[in-house]
Amino acid sequence: MKPVIQIQDVCKTYFMGENKVDALKNVSMDFCEGEFWALLGPSGSGKSTLLNMMGCLDSPTSGTCLIDGIDVSTMNDNQLSDLRLSRLGFIFQSFNLIQQLTVAENITLPLFYQGWTEKESQERAIELASLVELEHRTDHLPKELSGGQQQRVAIARALANNPSIILADEPTGALDTKTGDQIMALLTDLNKQGITIIMVTHEPEVADFASHKLHMRDGIIEKIERPECAIKL
C-alpha cells in the first residue's frame, strides 16, 4: 500500500504561559491509502496535535510531515489552503457547522472556495445530502437539526470536494451511543469506498470500528494495532 501521510521524527513543542509542553516527541509513522485509523490515548497524549499536523493546520517544531510525498513545511499558506481544499476533509467533535448558513450552503462551502457555479453546487448539495439521508433538510439551518443530523451534514461537507483523506476529531464525542454508531457506520462505508480515514477518539468501542489503532501517551506512540498483527513498541 502507498503511504499517503508520512510523519518523520516529528517533535512539537509549544508554550502554555511559562510552561513548555512537548506535545509530540520524535514521532514517526506512515499512514497508507485506504486505511481506517483510530488514534487513541488520554487527553494530552498528543493525538489531536498529530491530527492537526496531518491536516496542515499545525506545523512541526522539528521533523517533517509529508502528504503524498510532499513536505508540507515547504508550502506557503495559500498552498496549504489549496491542499486542504483539494485532498482533505475534516470532521469535528462539535460539528463546526456555520450557523447562519443553511444545510446546503454548509455542505457546498468547499465548492464555493473551489469556484463552482451556483447551479453545480446545488446539484452536488442534493447528491451529498441524500448520501447522508438529509435531502429533505437542505434549506434548514443547523440549529434546527439534531446532533446526529448536524454531524451527518458535517460529513457531507467533508465529502464535498472528493477528498482522499478524512480527518475526524472525536466525531462521536458529542453524540449518544446509538447516533454515534450510525455515524461510525457511515464512516466505515466511506472507508470501504477507498477513502483513508484517520480518527481521534478516546472511546475503545468507537475505535473498534477502525481497522488500525494507534495508542499514544505523553507525546509518543505507545502501541500500534494492525489487522494482521499487533506490534508492541
Q: Is 84 in the site for other proteins (CB under 8 A)?
A: yes
Q: Is 46 in the site for other proteins (CB under 8 A)?
A: no
CA 44 distance to own-chain centroid: 18
Nearer to other proteins, 18 or 118 (CB): 118
Q: Is 168 in the site for other proteins (CB under 8 A)?
A: no
Q: Where are the beta strands (DSSP E) in the chain?
A: 3-16, 19-32, 36-40, 62-67, 70-71, 88-91, 165-169, 196-200, 212-217, 220-225, 230-232
Q: Is 98 in the site for other proteins (CB under 8 A)?
A: yes
Residue 12 CA to residue 196 CA, distance in Å, equals 24
Nearer to other proteins, 142 or 148 (CB): 142
Residue 122: CB minimum distance to other proteins, A? 12
Nearer to other proteins, 97 or 155 (CB): 97
Residue 31: CB minimum distance to other proteins, A? 19
Nearer to other proteins, 167 or 214 (CB): 167
Residue 58: CB minimum distance to other proteins, A? 6
Residue 189: CB minimum distance to other proteins, A? 22
Query: Which range touches other proteins (CB under 8 A), out of 16-24, 81-89, 182-190, 211-219?
Result: 81-89
Long-range contacts (CB closer than 8 Å, 24 or more residues apart) made by 188-195: 188/36, 190/155, 190/159, 190/166, 191/34, 191/36, 194/33, 194/34, 195/34, 195/163, 195/164, 195/165, 195/166
In this structure, are residues 93 and 206 in contact, taking their beta carbons and an 8 Å threshold?
no
Residue keyed to cell 454508531:
181
Positions that interact with other proteins (CB under 8 A): 52, 55, 57-58, 77-78, 81-86, 88, 90, 92, 96-101, 109-110, 112-115, 117-118, 157, 161
